[in-house]
Amino acid sequence: MATQIFVNLPVNDLDKSIAFFTELGYTFNPQFTDEKATCMIISENIYVMLVVKSFFKTFTHLDIADATSVTESIISLSVESREAVDNLVNKAVAAGATTPNDPVDHGFMYESGFQDLDGHLWSLFYMDPSAINQEQPTAETNAA
């Protein structure tokens, strides 16, 4: 079964969000981009819709979480190496992100992350396939 994942995130300033994620190397699908939203391409089947808050509000009757003061979710993405984790976090910080936690080395998995311009939490991790058989993941590390 083919599946695509679209994560929808409310943003304050769409242009600033696009500039921020462009600095991290992401691209956007122009077919799904206008003044209200954009479709950021994470991979062939994973996309993040960055949606201006006023438009995002039309999708829900609930309040929109202020991600700068509460945790709504953590978006976790795997990357190809430990260096890629650090490089992407460094790019994010250079583009205006903050880092809420220090990197964590679980042996078989290395992770770090950032809080984007709107407060959304992003976790980046590299899992070493050769070390996975030697160490069994726990619920704590699965929450990456």
Q: Are 115 and 121 in contact (CB under 8 A)?
A: yes
Within 10 Å of residue 106's Cβ, how many Cβ atoms?
17
Average pLDDT over the chain, rounded to whole?
A: 92
Does the pLDDT of residue 10 top 90, yes or no? yes
Question: Which strand (E) or helix (H) includes residue 53?
Answer: helix 53-56
Distance CA 63, CA 7 (A): 17
**pLDDT, tens digit (0-9, with 9 covering 90-100), for 82-135:** 999 999 999 999 999 999 889 999 999 999 999 999 999 999 999 988 876 655
Name residues whose C-beta falls within 8 Å of residue 67's C-beta, 6 or more positions apart in sequence: 115, 118, 119, 120, 121
DSSP-assigned letter for residue 15: H
Does the pLDDT of residue 136 top 70, yes or no? no
What domains sit in the chain, N to C, each tagged with a CATH number?
A: 1-58 (3.10.180.10), 68-138 (3.10.180.10)
What average pLDDT score do residues 56-69 get?
A: 94
pTM of this prediction exceeds 0.95: no
